[in-house]
């Protein structure tokens, strides 16, 4: 029960025939996603092989400074992704800054907590633990932040006339946008809550499956999966709350006027 079955390039090639077949089918019916699918498949292969070598190097070196550099790169890429997914962005680099700061505070804090208090590898920044842990928390937090920010800006934009009339009746800016805020928080956190509620019944979570394939005992693998979900829920919830709060502060000014002119 030690180590997974090794795959060679032929194995990957056989697996790829499935996607090639799908691409041909989609092209035949002119559904127009073949191009996107092939680009995504190529990106998948290139990116994962690259990260495989990077991680191999990081694990061999095991230096804190390298782990930190890796973490910063992940943060920058994720923040750029948050910005890219906004239909209406804040002017300048503020969407990037807002995404980066809230992502940083929530996911780094929780990953540190996980490493120092819960998992306690030796040294605490052991890349085999630190990088996957941070990556899982950050990717989920990134999705939640970008989704909820996008929804809030769209909701305020679409309902600006209603918000203005609510303000005119003497409501505070918070009261005037509360229904939209609630909706955004729901949208952001529901995927996590649903995954937690169905974990193990409908789907075996990816990380746990990976550990089992690599030869770990299922009873041990589930423990990791449980703490990971708690960390993800925390990262998603805190990150989103911070991002929405900052966005709200930006979209209303000191006289509680709706400032959609601050969106580009």
Partner 1 sequence: MGSTVWSMIEMTGEMEGLNIQDLSFIEWEHLDLSVAESEVVCLLGDSGSGKSLLLRAIADLIVNEGEVSLWGKRRESFSPPEWRKRVGYLAAEILWWEETVDLHFSKPLSREDLDKLNLPHDAGEWAPSRLSMGERQRLGILRMLDRSPEVLLLDEPTANLDENSSSVVEQVLLDYIGEQSAPALWVTHSKDQAGRVGHRILEMKNQSLTELDRAVLTK
In the complex, the residues that contact partner 1 under the rule CB under 8 A are 159, 161-162, 164-173, 179, 253, 255-259, 261
Closest CB to partner 1 among residues 89, 166? 166
Q: Round to whole Å and give the CA distance between 159 and 177.
A: 9
State the minimum distance, in angstroms, from the CB of residue 28 to partner 1.
46
State the minimum distance, in angstroms, from the CB of residue 169 to partner 1.
6
State the minimum distance, in angstroms, from the CB of residue 242 to partner 1.
24
Closest CB to partner 1 among residues 6, 261? 261
State the minimum distance, in angstroms, from the CB of residue 254 to partner 1.
8
Closest CB to partner 1 among residues 172, 198? 172
User: Residue 198 corresponds to which tokens in the numbers above?
Assistant: 């169905």
Q: Round to whole Å and give the CA distance between 92 and 264.
A: 8
* Beta carbons within 8 Å of 89's beta carbon, 6+ residues apart: 83, 95, 263, 264
Q: Round to whole Å and give the CA distance between 82 and 8.
A: 35
Question: CA-CA distances (angstroms) from residue 132 to 3, 125, 139?
Answer: 18, 11, 10
CB 207 within 8 A of CB 225: yes
Closest CB to partner 1 among residues 152, 228? 152
């Amino acid at each position: 029960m030690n180590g997974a079955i090794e795959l060679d390039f032929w194995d990957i090639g056989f697996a790829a025939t499935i996607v090639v077949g799908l691409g041909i089918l989609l092209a035949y019916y002119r559904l127009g996603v073949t191009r996107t699918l092939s680009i995504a498949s190529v990106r998948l292969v290139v990116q994962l092989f690259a990260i495989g070598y990077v991680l191999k190097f990081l694990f061999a070196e095991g230096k804190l400074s390298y782990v930190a550099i890796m973490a910063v790169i992940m943060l920058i890429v994720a923040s750029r992704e948050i910005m890219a997914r906004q239909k209406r962005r804040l002017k300048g680099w503020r969407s990037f800054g807002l995404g980066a700061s809230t992502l940083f505070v929530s996911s780094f804090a929780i990953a540190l907590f996980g490493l120092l208090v819960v998992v306690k590898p030796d040294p605490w920044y052991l890349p085999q633990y630190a990088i996957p842990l941070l990556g899982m928390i950050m990717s989920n937090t990134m999705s939640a932040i970008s989704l909820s920010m996008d929804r809030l800006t769209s909701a305020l934009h679409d309902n600006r006339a209603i918000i203005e009339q609510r303000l005119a009746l003497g409501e505070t800016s918070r009261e005037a946008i509360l229904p939209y805020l609630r909706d955004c928080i729901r949208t952001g956190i529901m995927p996590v809550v649903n995954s937690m509620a169905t974990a193990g019944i409908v789907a075996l979570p990816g990380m746990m499956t990976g550990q089992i394939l690599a030869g770990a005992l299922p009873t041990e693998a589930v423990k990791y999966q449980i703490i990971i979900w708690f960390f993800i829920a925390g990262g998603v919830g805190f990150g989103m709350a911070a991002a929405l709060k900052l966005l709200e502060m930006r979209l209303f000014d000191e006289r509680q006027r709706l400032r959609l002119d601050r969106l580009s």
